[in-house]
Amino acid sequence: MIIMSVDYGDVRTGIAVCDKMQIIASPVCVITEKDREKLAEKIKELAIEKKAERLCVGIPQNMDGSYGFRSDACREFAGILREKTGLQVDFQNERLTTVSAHNILNTVNVRGKKRKEVVDAVSAVLILEDYMNTIKNK
């Protein structure tokens, strides 16, 4: 099953997708869009193009396990995606994925404007990898 992950942001949203065997998660793009409806439409188009069968939205969880206001925004957006795409939308904890993405980009020496352009897509890959591991361990 091809799964597409979404690292939802107010300005930039990272997208990643896995192969049918759910072995490799790859970055697709970062969408710069503030309007949630337009963003959901762009993600729908990508889901069709990539033949995604399920979506996974990263949801921020606090270090104590609680959910904050940002989690509510992610859940609301996931509802819009579910409505627009008709696909199952699951959630995956995205705690510290942006920090990890920055560490990965440090390792490969990606800096400045280029980093800003890709960090959300790398975060989406990390969310998708965690989600695929969760599925495999169930």
Q: State mean pLDDT over 74-97.
A: 92
Please report the domains of the chain, with CATH numbers, ordered by start residue.
Answer: 3-136 (3.30.420.140)
Give me the residues paired with residue 14 across strands: 7, 30
pLDDT over 60 (residue 2): yes
Cα separation, 133 vs 79, whole angstroms: 24
Q: What is the pTM (predicted TM-score) of this model?
A: 0.88
The band of 102, judged by pLDDT with boundaries at 50, 70 and 90, is low
The band of 96, judged by pLDDT with boundaries at 50, 70 and 90, is low
Which has the closest alpha carbon to 13: 21, 22, 4, 24? 4
